[in-house]
């Protein structure tokens, strides 16, 4: 069965997210580990985590995806911001050890004029200082649109980060369809070629999750403005080909389209109905 969900608010805890997911026809979900604009995480309620784990098992909720705050920038020119990134990711991974076997996605970072090489080195340095052999969460680099000085627009940049991480078996990639499109990979016209290139440069075995979004802007625009499924420049048919592709169809898909819950429920229904054609 297709594994699909959407981004949910984590403000009411894990069990509430699980119940919301099930209520909209999802069998997974994504959530922010803390306020997306940064700051401290709420204390974890261990009884909520336990109740969630039992509920997830009963309902067949698959691998869930935690998303790091946007303010996490491992390759800022400001050492204080780099230090915040290390502390935030370490704390997030410690909290996620209560829900083992899931994934943690983060934006590689923006080098803010330091240059791609320095940025990649700093991102790998952060990961090498945090990852441990006993980690039971897979840490995912998200493919980025390349707006500003973002690192991770090209598959090559992501591969170079992975190459420098010592415990790289703890790492994977989350492919965001809006971002790769905005970054110049034509998943609407040439999906097979894009995935071939991904396989050649990174390896498809590294791909652990897909953010399924349409894009407001044309191919290569480097904008990163998500659109609802079928209402953007990628289009419904192309996004359905992503969901049905043999190399992708067993991955978890997460909607990050601009929607309220009822909109997500409609999109999940639409994609489930068309996933097997």
In the complex, which residues of this chain contact Fe ion (CB under 5 A)?
142, 176, 211
Instruction: Answer with the entry of Zn ion, Fe ion, none that 224 interacts with (C-beta below 5 to 8 A by kind).
Output: Zn ion
Check: CB of residue 190 under 8 Å from CB of residue 159: no
- Whichever of 15 and 211 has its CB closer to Fe ion, that residue is 211
- Nearer to Zn ion (CB atom), residue 17 or residue 180: 180
Q: Which residue is nearest to Zn ion (CB)?
A: 224
Q: Which residues partner with 175 through β-bridges?
A: 210
Residues 58-83, buried b or exposed e (16+ Cβ, 10 A)?
eeebbbbbbbbbebbbbbbeeeebbe
Residue count (the chain): 277
**Binder of residue 157, out of Zn ion, Fe ion, none (CB less than 5 to 8 A by kind):** none
**Toward Fe ion, which CB reaches closer, 15 or 84?**
84
Minimal distance in Å, beta carbon 258 to Zn ion?
11
Q: Which is nearer to Zn ion, 14 or 185 (CB)?
A: 185
For the CB of residue 166, give the shortest distance to Zn ion in the complex, in Å: 29
What is the Cβ-side half-sphere exposure of residue 93, based on CA atoms within 13 angstroms? 23
84: left (phi over 0), alpha (psi -120 to 50) or beta: alpha
Among all chains, which residue has been given the structure tokens 């090498």? 128
> Which residues would be at the binding site for Zn ion (CB under 5 A)?
224
And the tokens for 193?
């070629």
Residue 34 contact among Zn ion, Fe ion, none, beta carbon within 5 to 8 Å by kind:
none
Cβ 252 to Fe ion shortest distance, Å: 13
């Amino acid at each position: 069965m297709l594994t699909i969900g959407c981004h949910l608010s984590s403000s009411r805890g894990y069990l509430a997210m699980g119940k919301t997911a099930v209520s909209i026809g999802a069998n997974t979900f994504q959530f922010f580990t803390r306020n997306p604009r940064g700051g401290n995480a709420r204390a974890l309620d261990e009884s909520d985590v336990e109740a969630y784990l039992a509920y997830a098992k009963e309902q067949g909720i698959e691998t869930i995806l935690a998303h790091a705050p946007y303010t996490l920038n491992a390759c800022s020119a400001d050492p204080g911001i780099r230090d915040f990134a290390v502390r935030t990711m370490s704390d997030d991974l410690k909290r996620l050890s209560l829900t083992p076997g899931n994934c943690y996605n983060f934006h590689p970072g923006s080098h803010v004029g330091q240059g791609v090489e320095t940025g990649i080195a700093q991102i790998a340095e952060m990961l090498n200082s945090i990852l441990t052999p006993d980690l039971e969460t897979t840490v995912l680099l998200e493919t980025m649109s390349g707006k500003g000085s973002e690192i991770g627009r090209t598959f090559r940049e992501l591969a170079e980060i992975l190459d420098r991480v010592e415990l790289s078996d703890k790492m994977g990639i989350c492919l965001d369809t809006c971002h790769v499109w905005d970054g110049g990979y034509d998943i609407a016209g040439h999906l097979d070629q894009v995935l071939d290139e991904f396989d050649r440069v990174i390896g498809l075995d590294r791909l652990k999750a897909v953010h399924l979004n349409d894009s407001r802007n044309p191919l290569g625009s480097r904008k990163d403005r998500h659109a609802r499924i079928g209402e953007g420049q990628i289009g419904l048919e192309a996004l359905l080909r992503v969901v049905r592709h043999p190399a992708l169809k067993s991955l978890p898909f997460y909607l990050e389209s601009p929607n309220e819950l009822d909109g997500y429920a409609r999109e999940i229904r639409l994609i489930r109905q068309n996933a097997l054609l």
